[in-house]
A and B are shown apart, each in its own frame.
Chain A
Amino acid sequence: MSKIGTPSREQLVRKAAELAPLLRKHASWAEENRRLHDEVIDGLADAGVFKLRRPKRYGGYEADTRTLVEVTTELGRGDGSAAWVASVYAIPGWMACQFPDEVQDEVFATPDVRVCGTLSPSGMAAPADGGIVVDGKWRFTSGAHHSHWQEILAVLVPPAGEPYPVMALVPMSDLLVVDDWQTSGLRGTGSVSTVAKNLFVPQQRVLPLGAVLQGEPASQRSADSRIYRLPLLPVAAASSVGTALGLGRAALDTFLQRLGDRKITYTDYESQSAAPLTHLQVAEATLKLDAAEFHARRLATQVDSKGTEGAPWKIEERIRARADMGAVVKLVREAVDILAGASGGSSIYTDVPIQRIARDVQAISLHALMHPNTNTELYGRVLCGLDPNTQYI
Chain B
Amino acid sequence: MTSTTSPATQPSDADQAGIAALTQKVIAAWAYHDADGFAGLFTEDGTMILAGVHRNGREEIRAFLREAYQGRYKGTQVTGKPLGIRMLGTDAAILLTHGGVLEAGQSEVSPAAAIRASWVVVRRDGQWRLAAYQNTPANAN
Contact = CB atoms under 8 A, between A and B. Distances in A.
Nearest to A123: B24
Interface string A144-163: 00000000000101111111
A198 interface: yes
A135 B21 contact: yes
Contact of A163 (B14, B24, B25): B14
A137 B24 contact: yes
A180 B77 contact: yes
Interface stretch (B28-36, B46-54, B60-68, B88-96): B28-36
B24 A157 contact: no
A342 interface: no
B7 interface: no
Nearest to A196: B28
A136 interface: yes
Contacts of B20: 124
Contacts of A195: 27-28, 31-32
Contact of A162 (B13, B24, B28): B13
A176 interface: yes
Interface string B93-110: 000000000000101000
A189 to B, nearest CB: 15
B17 A163 contact: yes
B37 interface: yes
Interface string B115-133: 0000000000010000000
A198 B28 contact: yes
Contacts of B137: none
Contacts of B77: 178, 180
Contacts of A40: none
B27 A157 contact: no
Nearest to B107: A180
Contact of B13 (A126, A137, A163, A176): A163
B31 A178 contact: yes
A279 interface: no
B17 A124 contact: yes
Contact of A161 (B14, B29, B105): B14
Contacts, number: 60
Contact of B17 (A122, A155, A198): A155
Does more than half of chain A's interface fall in helix, strand or loop, or is it mixed? strand
A23 B25 CA distance: 40
A197 interface: yes
Q: Interface SS of chain B: helix, strand, loop or mixed?
A: helix
A178 B75 CA distance: 10
Nearest to A199: B28
Contacts of A160: 14
A137 B31 contact: yes
Contacts of A176: 31-32
Contact of A197 (B17, B37, B126): B37
A122 B24 CA distance: 8
A182 interface: yes
B24 to A, nearest CB: 4
A342 to B, nearest CB: 33
A294 B79 CA distance: 42
B24 A124 contact: yes
A158 B12 CA distance: 12
Given A180-B107, A198-B37, A137 B17 contact: no
Contacts of A122: 24
Contacts of B105: 180, 182
B57 interface: no
Contacts of B32: 176, 195, 197
Contacts of A180: 77, 105, 107
Contacts of B17: 124, 155, 157, 163
A135 B18 contact: no
B18 A198 contact: no
A153 to B, nearest CB: 12
B140 to A, nearest CB: 29
A137 B27 contact: yes
A180 B104 CA distance: 8
Contacts of A135: 21, 24-25, 27-28
Nearest to A195: B31
A139 to B, nearest CB: 8
B28 A126 contact: no
A118 B140 CA distance: 37
A160 B14 CA distance: 7
B50 to A, nearest CB: 21
Contacts of B24: 122-124, 135-137
Q: Closest 10 CB pairs between A and B?
A: A124-B21, A197-B28, A163-B17, A195-B31, A157-B17, A135-B24, A135-B28, A124-B24, A135-B25, A136-B24
Interface of A: 122-124, 126, 135-137, 155, 157-163, 176, 178, 180, 182, 195-198
9 contacts: A135-B21, A136-B27, A137-B24, A137-B28, A182-B105, A195-B28, A198-B25, A198-B28, A198-B37
